[in-house]
């Protein structure tokens, strides 16, 4: 009997369907929270969320397939997997709508100052002087026009926003047809009222938004990051938030997760933060569960 190790915390949590799919196809499933260098030993397949999968772990095991529960594979040593002939699958599109909706939620929360107003009222202080913004007519810059970026851009257009896109791998004509403008990154940063990041974390995107890039943004603009913490230089963002270089930020992802209790972000009143929950909806979780389980079943059934 083939054995599947489940490291993704939400796999099978809200529905038995994905577990049943594996079991009906003759797989034995074991769930663990964390594993060490020998943790993959004795398993044929692994379903992984954000846990690091290192070369050593792969070498010490006979794992034949790694199914990523999500799309960001920066926690998996892909070079080692390729060298060892271990395919790594992802769950494309399964969470794009959920992450896009969180992004739009962030845009509303920032522009209407929802968190501030809620907190003020919650402290029984009724009088608030803060004034919000209309989104209609404002400019959104989408960095990375893949599954998530596209869903964000479409929704922003419906809100009456102008949408600029920076993605060197997408044709200008494709964007123009959809009603978006293809621009270079610097132009996007200079012109946008909201900048939203949707690129994978890799060597070309690490610290894509650094001190210099932040200095191009309008002082009234907001930065939204639901991609990966490493896409931005966190020190530079904290500086920009504190010295008013940008108006604020909304962050779902961080370099260190969970966010350490002494993180300087806690001293920035103009930041909204969520603990990496972009894909945490019942719908997205079930889709990711099923695609990950199906990729294992398909792999072993040839």
Residues found near ligand NAD in the complex (CB under 6 A): 70-72, 95-96, 99, 143-149, 166-170, 198-201, 204-205, 226-228, 252-253, 276, 278-279
Largest separation between any pair of C-alpha atoms in the chain: 65
Q: How far is the CB of 170 from ligand NAD (least distance, A)?
A: 6
Q: How far is the CB of 128 from ligand NAD (least distance, A)?
A: 30
Stretch (H or E) spanning 60: none
> Between residues 29 and 237, which has the closer beta carbon with respect to ligand NAD?
237
Spot the catalytic one: 257, 280, 283, 294.
257
Is residue 228 annotated as part of the catalytic site, yes or no? yes
Q: How far is the CB of 129 from ligand NAD (least distance, A)?
A: 33
Beta-strand (E) ranges in the chain? 2-6, 27-31, 45-48, 65-68, 88-89, 139-143, 162-166, 181-182, 194-197, 222-225, 248-251, 271-273
> Between residues 60 and 147, which has the closer beta carbon with respect to ligand NAD?
147
Q: Closest-CB residue for ligand NAD?
A: 146
Exposed, middle or buried, 70 (CB in 10 Å: 0-12/13-18/19+)?
buried
> Between residues 29 and 284, which has the closer beta carbon with respect to ligand NAD?
284
CA dihedral 212, 276, 220, 161 (to 10 degrees): 110
Distance, in Å, from the CA atom of 204 to the CA atom of 197, rounded to the nearest integer, reads 14
Distance, in Å, from the CA atom of 172 to the CA atom of 190, rounded to the nearest integer, reads 19
Spot the catalytic one: 276, 283, 287, 294.
276
> Between residues 213 and 228, which has the closer beta carbon with respect to ligand NAD?
228
> Between residues 129 and 204, which has the closer beta carbon with respect to ligand NAD?
204
Q: How far is the CB of 202 from ligand NAD (least distance, A)?
A: 7
Is residue 257 annotated as part of the catalytic site, yes or no? yes
Is residue 151 annotated as part of the catalytic site, yes or no? no
Q: Which two tokens stand for residue 270?
A: 């103009």
Distance, in Å, from the CA atom of 268 to the CA atom of 245, rounded to the nearest integer, reads 13
Spot the catalytic one: 228, 235, 280, 294.
228
Q: How far is the CB of 22 from ligand NAD (least distance, A)?
A: 23
Q: Quick one: how many helices (H) and strands (E) in the chain? A: 11, 12
- The catalytic residue positions are 228, 257, 276
């Amino acid at each position: 009997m083939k054995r599947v190790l489940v490291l993704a915390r939400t796999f099978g949590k809200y529905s038995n369907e994905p577990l049943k799919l594996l079991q009906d196809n003759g797989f034995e499933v074991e769930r663990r929270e964390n594993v060490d260098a020998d943790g993959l030993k004795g398993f044929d397949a692994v379903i992984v969320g954000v846990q690091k999968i290192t070369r050593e772990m792969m070498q010490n095991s006979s794992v034949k397939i790694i199914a990523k529960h999500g799309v960001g594979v920066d926690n998996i040593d892909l070079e080692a997997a390729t060298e060892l002939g271990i395919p790594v699958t992802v769950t494309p599109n399964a969470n794009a709508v959920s992450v896009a909706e969180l992004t739009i939620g962030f845009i509303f929360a920032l522009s209407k100052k929802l968190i501030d107003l809620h907190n003020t009222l919650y402290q029984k202080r009724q009088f608030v002087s803060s004034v919000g913004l209309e989104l209609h007519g404002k400019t959104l810059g989408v960095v990375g026009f893949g599954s998530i970026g596209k869903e964000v851009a479409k929704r922003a257009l419906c809100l009456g926003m102008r949408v600029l896109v920076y993605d060197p791998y997408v044709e200008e004509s494709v964007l123009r047809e959809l009603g978006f403008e293809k621009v270079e990154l610097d132009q996007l940063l200079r012109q946008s009222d909201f900048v939203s990041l949707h690129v994978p974390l890799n060597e070309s995107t690490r610290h894509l938004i650094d001190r210099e890039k932040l200095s191009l943004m309008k002082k009234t603009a907001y930065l939204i990051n639901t991609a990966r913490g490493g896409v931005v230089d966190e020190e530079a963002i904290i500086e920009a938030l504190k010295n008013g270089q940008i108006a604020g930020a909304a962050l779902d992802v961080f370099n260190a997760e969970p966010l350490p209790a002494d993180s300087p972000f806690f001293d920035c009143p103009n930041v909204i933060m969520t603990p990496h929950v972009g894909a945490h909806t019942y719908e997205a979780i079930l889709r990711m569960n099923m695609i990950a389980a199906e990729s294992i079943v398909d792999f072993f059934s040839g």
